[in-house]
């Protein structure tokens, strides 16, 4: 009854509308912790602010945050809250992968009516020095219309040979010519640009002039070179790196909305994660991935899945990264990812069948608490649900996430 009494009253406080709500500019790293909502627990049966504080997420202490909710319940709003909080409390790089166009847009704010009714502060994220916007959109395919939008092309120098082989749909190293290409690829200087790659391969191929299949090898290599030239996702003519795209001060949004092919999406996500690791090794940063069950499903074996498993099991903890994963289908998500989540949000009503694997494998004990929650809370509003942390696995909370002031 105690839980019932409190959850019925877990409402955001109203703010008196005096006709004027001042707009406040917030600069990077100027605060210690940011309130993103409210919570109550069975050990603390009173409403208290729910904060996001990245100061606890340092090197060797990275965190994996998993959010489970149905469509339109508040997953993306929570991501906006966490990203703007990370922006306001740190000066670390922020990279988020966006599935739906304009889901993440940190140049917009809620209406005055929403701000007044929800009782949230009215802020605007101040752009970093030398920038006109707090965010940068990276667009793999599609038209670039704004000066804060950048056409994302994966640099040839950043690609591993195994990655490009998988992307083209066959193992290049299964032939002698493929083995030559793989050997050349081992040195980064040999594939900074397509011209560097051609010169390096030609120097290596001349050793096989007496081979009866020499002409076939040359043909194989030429076809591979042409595939590289033709692909619109690859940058082969200029020597670029991850620093050409990722801005260390802005919120970097990788927009996947124009990519219709799921294999292409997985390629972009996998390669971007590899590039981010090389650039920010053992440096704190934020990585957000929407619809994570697409990139790390229970079945199948591909580069994106291997990279996300590595991300949550090794990289986040040792590098001090904050990894934010959201999904509608936790039952389809790779078990290793569920096991390594440090903080878990379950927002709104989620079918018991979808939560079975999560409850069985998660580091937080939600059994019993979820039963009570679903019994006493009718018509669960958007943004309301339960939250648990591996730091205190037996003490989940009822939470209400407030509307994000930006995004």
Q: How far apart are CA 182 and CA 333, in angstroms?
A: 33
DSSP classification of residue 172: G
3-class secondary structure, 122: coil
DSSP classification of residue 340: T
pLDDT (0 to 100) of residue 193: 92
pLDDT (0 to 100) of residue 54: 83
pLDDT (0 to 100) of residue 32: 86
DSSP classification of residue 29: T
135 strand-pairing partners: 251
pLDDT (0 to 100) of residue 17: 46
Burial of 163 (0-12, 13-18, 19+ CB in 10 A): middle
3-class secondary structure, 33: coil
pLDDT (0 to 100) of residue 274: 92
Contact 158, 241 (CB under 8 A): yes
* Average pLDDT per consecutive 10 residues, the chain (407 residues; last block may be shorter): 42 49 82 89 80 75 88 89 93 93 86 75 87 92 83 90 78 70 88 91 84 83 88 89 90 90 91 91 90 90 90 88 92 92 89 87 84 74 87 87 87
Q: Closest by alpha carbon to 387, among 351, 353, 343, 350?
A: 343
Q: How far apart are CA 201 and CA 179, in angstroms?
A: 11
Q: Closest by alpha carbon to 256, among 358, 139, 384, 371?
A: 139
Q: How far apart are CA 293 and CA 332, in angstroms?
A: 6
DSSP classification of residue 157: G
The whole-model pTM stands at 0.87
Q: Give the distance from CA 189 to its chain's centroid.
A: 30
């Amino acid at each position: 009854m105690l839980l019932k009494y409190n959850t019925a009253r877990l409402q955001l406080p109203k703010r008196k509308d005096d006709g004027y709500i001042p707009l406040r500019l917030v600069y990077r790293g100027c605060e210690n912790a940011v309130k993103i909502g409210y919570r109550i627990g069975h050990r603390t049966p009173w409403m208290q602010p729910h904060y996001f504080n990245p100061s606890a997420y340092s090197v060797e202490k990275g965190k994996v945050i998993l959010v489970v909710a149905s469509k339109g319940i508040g997953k993306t709003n929570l991501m906006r809250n966490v990203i703007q909080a990370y922006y306001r409390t740190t000066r670390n790089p922020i990279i988020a992968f966006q599935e739906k166009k304009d889901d993440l847009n940190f140049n917009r704010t809620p209406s005055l009516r929403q701000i007044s009714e929800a009782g949230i502060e009215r802020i605007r994220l101040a752009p970093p020095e030398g920038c006109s916007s707090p965010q940068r959109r990276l667009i793999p395919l599609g038209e670039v219309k704004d000066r804060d939008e950048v056409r994302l092309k994966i640099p040839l120098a950043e690609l591993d040979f195994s990655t490009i082989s998988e992307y083209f749909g066959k193992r290049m190293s299964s032939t002698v010519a493929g083995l030559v290409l793989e050997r050349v690829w081992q040195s980064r200087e040999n594939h900074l640009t397509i011209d560097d790659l051609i010169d390096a391969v030609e120097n290596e191929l001349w050793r096989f002039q007496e081979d009866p299949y020499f002409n076939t090898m040359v043909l194989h290599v030429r076809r591979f070179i042409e595939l590289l030239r033709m692909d619109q996702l690859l940058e082969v003519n200029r020597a670029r790196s991850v620093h050409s795209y990722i801005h260390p001060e802005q919120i970097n949004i990788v927009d996947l909305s124009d990519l219709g092919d799921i294999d292409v999406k997985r390629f972009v996500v996998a390669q971007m994660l590899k590039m981010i690791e090389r650039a920010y090794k053992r440096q704190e940063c934020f990585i957000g991935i929407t619809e994570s069950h697409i990139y790390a499903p229970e079945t199948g074996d591909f580069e994106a899945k291997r990279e996300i498993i590595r991300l949550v099991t090794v990289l986040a903890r040792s590098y001090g990264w904050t990894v934010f994963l959201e999904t509608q289908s936790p039952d389809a998500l790779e078990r290793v990812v569920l096991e390594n989540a440090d903080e878990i949000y379950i927002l709104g009503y989620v079918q018991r069948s979808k939560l079975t694997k999560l409850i069985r494998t998660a580091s937080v004990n939600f059994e019993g608490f979820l039963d009570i929650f679903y019994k006493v809370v009718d018509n669960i509003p958007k943004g309301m649900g339960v939250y648990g942390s591996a730091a205190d696995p037996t003490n989940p909370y009822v939470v209400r996430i407030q509307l994000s002031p930006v995004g």
